[in-house]
A and B are shown apart, each in its own frame.
Chain A
Amino acid sequence: MTAAACVWLYAVVPAGPSPGGGGSVESALAAISGVADEPLYLVPGPGVAAVAGAVPCEDFDEEPLRTHLADVTWLERTVRIHHGAVDALVRAGPVLPMRYATVYREESSVAAMLETHRERLAAALERITGRTEWGVKVYLAHRSATESDGARPADQSSPGTAYLLRRKAQRDDRLQTRQRAGEEADRIHEALAAAAVENARHPLQTAEASGRGEPMVLNGAYLVDDERLPAFEKAVASCAADHGALCVEVTGPWPAYSFTDIGELPEGE
């Protein structure tokens, strides 16, 4: 086989026997195929190993990759496969996910990267061991129902003024609802953060992205100790109960995508 191969990285895992029993990372890998339908394997390093797949440079080198990424069908497919692989590995032990589309031209560069960053990677793995990410999205429960023009009797003598005042009341109502929702979202985030080890806030999703008519007010991610999950769930239920005008949606369990910061890295390392 002479076709040039690049290396797509999925995740970093601890080297050596996995907590789930010897070889379970390997058996998990045997059951997964990658973004180019390739088999996955481990690139060993000191204390950590990278989960990798050999992908054709023809599609995955910088220029073709950039082109492919503009194709939303290709993007969606590979995003889902990448996530599927990372998710399947979680069952075998701690998994530090790589940023989607981290590609190397040589396997030796991968090994070099593991060597260079072994301490940071090990620390990041430690940080997420025994912990799981959960997502909590909060929406306004429904569009503002208060159309505050009902009570006002039709003012025939100055209908134009009545109209403007009505519109003003509606607008003020909308703004107030939004503001209140934002404040409630902040309180929810604080309550959930208190039940988690770490927290993060993602940008709010637009109505189209979320597929919901109601505006999103919180898009949170929480790293929760697996043993403390019941407390976290209770916090979520409490929040939902306390904020009747909001709709709380939980997603997860996620690999710890949002909690992998290994610190600023110098260029070219």
Chain B
Amino acid sequence: MSLSSTVGAGRPRPVWTEDVALVDLLDRLLAGGVVVAGEITLSIADVDLVRISLRLLIASVRAAIGPMEAMEGAEGLEGGRRGAA
């Protein structure tokens, strides 16, 4: 559970969001957290590529709230999204 409070133009409106925004998660999980030399860890280059491809996905997902065509090539996304913790 997270608190998302939008404050602007003198109209504070605290909003409880069940869904933590994926981009905010990525900002933290891919670039934050303790880094130790695990035997298998992502290199920074891998992380950047993952970020970039995900940003594209996010764009298509948002556009796809309307048109279905943007969902092409993203099978299982619905399940993936709703399955989120």
Chain A positions within 8 Å of B, measured between CB atoms, are: 6, 9, 12, 60-62, 65-66, 69-70, 72-77, 79-84, 96-106, 109, 113, 117, 121, 124, 133, 135, 141, 202-203, 205-206, 208-211, 219, 221, 236-237, 240-241, 244, 246-254, 257-260, 262, 265, 267-269
Complex partner residue of A61 from B9, B40, B42, B77, CB under 8 angstroms: B40
Complex partner residue of B3 from A205, A253, A265, A267, CB under 8 angstroms: A253
Q: How near does chain A come to B14, taking the closest CB pair, in angstroms?
A: 9
Chain A residues with CB under 8 A of B22: 76, 79-80
Q: How near does chain A come to B8, taking the closest CB pair, in angstroms?
A: 4
Cα–Cα distance between A63 and B51 once the two chains are bound (Å): 19
CB-based contact A246/B40 at 8 Å: no
Chain A residues with CB under 8 A of B66: none
Proximity bits, B1-45, A CB within 8 Å = 1, else 0: 011111111101000000011111111111111111111111000
Chosen A-B contacts, 16 in total, with CB atoms closer than 8 Å, are A62-B40, A73-B76, A73-B77, A75-B50, A77-B84, A79-B25, A83-B29, A99-B29, A121-B34, A205-B27, A209-B58, A211-B21, A236-B5, A248-B6, A249-B5, A259-B32
Chain B residues with CB under 8 A of A77: 80, 83-84
Interface of B is mostly: mixed
Chain B residues with CB under 8 A of A106: 39
Query: Top 5 nearest A-B pairs by Cβ distance?
Result: A84-B85, A208-B59, A257-B32, A257-B28, A99-B33
CB-based contact A249/B4 at 8 Å: yes
CB-based contact A247/B8 at 8 Å: yes
CB-based contact A83/B25 at 8 Å: yes
The residue in B50, B54, B83 that gathers the most chain A C-beta atoms within 10 A of its C-beta is B50
Q: How near does chain B come to A66, taking the closest CB pair, in angstroms?
A: 7
Chain A residues with CB under 8 A of B4: 249-251
Chain B: CB-nearest residue to A138: B8
CB-based contact B7/A237 at 8 Å: yes
Beyond A73-B74, A250-B4, 10 additional pairs, beta carbon < 8 A: A70-B53, A98-B34, A102-B35, A102-B38, A103-B38, A104-B40, A109-B39, A244-B8, A257-B28, A260-B34
Chain A residues with CB under 8 A of B55: 206, 208-209
Q: How near does chain B come to A188, taking the closest CB pair, in angstroms?
A: 11
Cα–Cα distance between A124 and B49 once the two chains are bound (Å): 29
CB-based contact B10/A244 at 8 Å: yes
Chain A residues with CB under 8 A of B2: 251-254
Cα–Cα distance between A6 and B38 once the two chains are bound (Å): 11
Q: Say whether, besides A69-B50, A73-B76, A83-B20, A265 and B37 are in contact (CB < 8 Å).
A: yes
